[in-house]
Chains A and B, each alone.
Chain A
């Protein structure tokens, strides 16, 4: 194999390049070359890995030119987003801002203007980083994703999508085509928070919360975190503490404690496991309170 040790402006791996214009063409290329192909969207995760030779694809399939993978659609009760939609398009979308503000906030928290202009929602999910900023809000929104291959399509709940760092349930011949996001019920308050070394960096920990109240009783409660387990996760135990009970400081503290026990953080270059447990308490507490404030603001405004 050709290895370029001198000029890192050329990738150290040789591959054949495909840039199909349609999903069905892409599927047939995936079908033919299976595990030897890598899908390229924005390249902000993939090309960094190829540079380090962590991945050595024989074929690269660029999906950015497939127009049918780039859309944001407001259907009744559901927002559909094409997998190759850029993060900057999510941030700029009035539909997302209005109907899924928590996703808007999270997309805005990713990297820099340049990274958001290159990176896509599909790439963010398929990269399956435990630190993905889009995964926690999409998890609390009960998102599912649609995969397409020559043998057909299937819809997978996002909760079942991630297997471990860098691993998803997608088969080598499957292309992620769409992210299907149900609109939360009227009156739901949501929030997203992230701690990182700098605002450019991946999260040391992040959290998304969605709650809905009846009076002061919690009727809906979904909490998801990133960077605190091998995959982005829902905190079901923590949710149970709050669900069906009064939203009080005492309950919040019990939930916060449960969250710090429910997560499974590790020590890596970004943080220690101990720090992640501590900061998760702060994040969950603040995110719950912020979501609650938004419920109340919603009641006042209308």
Chain B
């Protein structure tokens, strides 16, 4: 017996029927076809399923879909504006993407961090991607990319991104 929930995904209002035991990742990938969000471990260890719920990072593999009724979700598909966002560009510049499986989760965490803090320290960057495993082990370049994104943001005086969310 399903229930109808209403929520916003990447700025679009959605109305969808979900089962109480359905996890958010199933709705995002299966029902909305937003397959940018990845499903790795399924038990909170890898961070590849990270999305923003009301601006805060959460694991969609450990969130019931029914819980997001009335809330706002941003997935990796909502990060790019018309073109790639500066974080995505920095990941390309720095070769921070190998197989790419961890990338959506990493970029969501980078976006969250840079929303809060325009000029994070290396320690803060590491702390924020601690819950995101890269099995290609490209951590060094990922950290460099997040630093570059922070610098670009400052140089181009990007308006507080938090407003977009």
Pair from one complex = yes
B-binding residues in A (CB < 8 A):
7-17, 19, 40, 43-44, 47-48, 51, 60, 62, 64, 88, 111-115, 117-118, 199-200
Residues of B within 8 A of A10 (CB): 19, 21-23, 26
Given A17-B66, A64-B67, decide whether A114 and B45 contact each other with a Cβ distance below 8 A: no
Contact among B19, B43, B45, B58 with A117 in the assembled complex (CB-CB below 8 Å):
B58
- B131 close to A111 (CB less than 8 A): yes
- B127 close to A113 (CB less than 8 A): yes
- CA gap between A48 and B25 in the complex, in Å: 14
Residues of B within 8 A of A9 (CB): 22-23, 25-26, 29-30, 39, 42, 61
Any A CB within 8 A of the CB of B50: yes
Residues of B within 8 A of A60 (CB): 20, 64
Residues of B within 8 A of A12 (CB): 21
Any A CB within 8 A of the CB of B13: no
Residues of A within 8 A of B21 (CB): 10-15
Chain A residue at minimum C-beta to C-beta distance from B105: A114
Chain B residue at minimum C-beta to C-beta distance from A47: B62
Any A CB within 8 A of the CB of B57: yes
- CA gap between A122 and B160 in the complex, in Å: 34
Any A CB within 8 A of the CB of B107: no
Any A CB within 8 A of the CB of B104: no
Interface 0/1 of B13-37, CB less than 8 Å to A: 0000001111101100110000000
Any A CB within 8 A of the CB of B102: no
Contact among A14, A62, A113, A114 with B67 in the assembled complex (CB-CB below 8 Å):
A62
Residues of B within 8 A of A40 (CB): 64
Residues of A within 8 A of B131 (CB): 111-115, 200
- B57 close to A117 (CB less than 8 A): yes
Interface 0/1 of B45-68, CB less than 8 Å to A: 101001000001111011110110
- CA gap between A44 and B25 in the complex, in Å: 15
Any A CB within 8 A of the CB of B109: yes
Any A CB within 8 A of the CB of B130: yes
Contact among A13, A117, A199 with B130 in the assembled complex (CB-CB below 8 Å):
A199
Q: How large is the interface on B (under 10, 10 to 19, 20 to 34, 35 or more residues)?
A: 20 to 34
Any A CB within 8 A of the CB of B78: no
Any A CB within 8 A of the CB of B138: no
Any A CB within 8 A of the CB of B44: yes
- A114 close to B26 (CB less than 8 A): no
- CA gap between A235 and B58 in the complex, in Å: 36
Known: A47-B64, A48-B62. 18 other contacts (CB 8 A): A8-B42, A10-B21, A12-B21, A13-B21, A14-B20, A17-B64, A43-B64, A44-B62, A48-B43, A62-B64, A64-B67, A114-B44, A114-B47, A114-B57, A114-B58, A114-B131, A199-B130, A200-B45
Chain B residue at minimum C-beta to C-beta distance from A57: B21
- A7 close to B26 (CB less than 8 A): yes
- B39 close to A113 (CB less than 8 A): no
Residues of A within 8 A of B29 (CB): 9
- CA gap between A9 and B3 in the complex, in Å: 17
- B58 close to A44 (CB less than 8 A): no
Residue among A15, A43, A112 with the highest chain B CB neighbour number at 10 A: A112
- B130 close to A48 (CB less than 8 A): no
- CA gap between A11 and B21 in the complex, in Å: 5
Chain B residue at minimum C-beta to C-beta distance from A88: B56
Residue among B29, B112, B130 with the highest chain A CB neighbour number at 10 A: B130
**Closest approach, in angstroms, between the C-beta of A287 and any C-beta of chain B?**
22
Chain B residue at minimum C-beta to C-beta distance from A9: B26
- B47 close to A43 (CB less than 8 A): no
Residues of B within 8 A of A113 (CB): 57, 109, 112, 127-128, 130-131
Contact among B44, B63, B128 with A48 in the assembled complex (CB-CB below 8 Å):
B44
**Closest approach, in angstroms, between the C-beta of A163 and any C-beta of chain B?**
25
- A17 close to B20 (CB less than 8 A): yes
